[in-house]
Amino acid sequence: MPSRLPLFPLKLVLFPGEPLPLHIFEPRYRQLLADCLGGDKRFGITADPDPGPGALGCSALIQASQQLPDGRSAIVVVGERRFALRALLDEGKPYLVGAVDGFDDQPGTAPLPDERRELRVLAEAARTGLRILADANTDLEAWADDAEAFSFQVSALVGSDLETRERLLADRSTRERTRTLLRVLPALVQQVQSRAEVEVRSRTNGKGHHGHDIVTET
């Protein structure tokens, strides 16, 4: 049976388990936020600016919300479950509301052990480089044991490549998502590591080595 979900179309893809900070400023989405906070704290994010039946997205759970003096709000959400929009509902709201069907990966589509090990090496290298660029020293989230959840953790590293992120979200095979990541991550790792090396050199400024080491497992 489909679930009712307020919809927030954004030009981005949210994955299950991925945290996302947002600023809410449009009046219609201020109302959406107020309604969600008064309910189950969930809404749906879809990259389709004009979603219709079949549009895909991910439900978002509000974890933190702070209203600013000018009426805007800063919130943090985390992705929960993917959905396909079945129909838009006419509820007289200033924002869209949909009847959605949640879905997960199909059973029996786990990646091969060698594929998962290879993806883990690439993901570690990408995450290390991105952490250097962000100059972050916070503890990193442990990689999930579950293959589907792990594949979404790695998918979140892909960044602003909307087309690839949409493909990763839509795939209902963990193995195929893993293989897509194995194809796209090497170029990302190379780019990130090159930028990180430049960043490390600029921070040392000729004063010797300090900070992070860039390590690639083999």
Of 55, 39, 37, the residue nearest 47 (C-alpha): 55
Choosing from 83, 103, 123, the residue where a domain stops is 103
Q: Is residue 164 part of a domain?
A: yes
Q: Which domain holds residue 10?
A: 3-103
Same-domain status, 8 and 74:
yes
Q: Is residue 210 part of a domain?
A: no
Calpha distance 117→173 (Å, rounded)? 18
Render pLDDT for 126-181 as a digit per residue (tens, 0 to 9): 998 888 887 766 667 899 999 999 999 999 999 878 999 999 999 999 999 999 99
Q: How many domains does the structure of the chain reveal?
A: 2
- Rg, the chain, Cα only: 19
Q: Is residue 65 part of a domain?
A: yes
Q: Is residue 218 part of a domain?
A: no
Query: What's the whole-number average pLDDT of the chain?
Result: 91
Choosing from 39, 69, 103, the residue where a domain stops is 103
Choosing from 68, 103, 138, the residue where a domain stops is 103
Residues in the chain: 218
Same-domain status, 80 and 159:
no
Query: Could you tell me what percent of the chain has a pLDDT over 70?
Result: 90
**CATH number, domain containing residue 99:** 2.30.130.40
Same-domain status, 10 and 69:
yes
Q: What is the pLDDT of residue 178?
A: 98
What residues contact 63, with CB distance under 8 A and at least 6 apart? 19, 76, 77, 78
Q: Is residue 152 part of a domain?
A: yes
Same-domain status, 83 and 133:
no
Lowest mean pLDDT among 8-17, 23-32, 153-162: 153-162
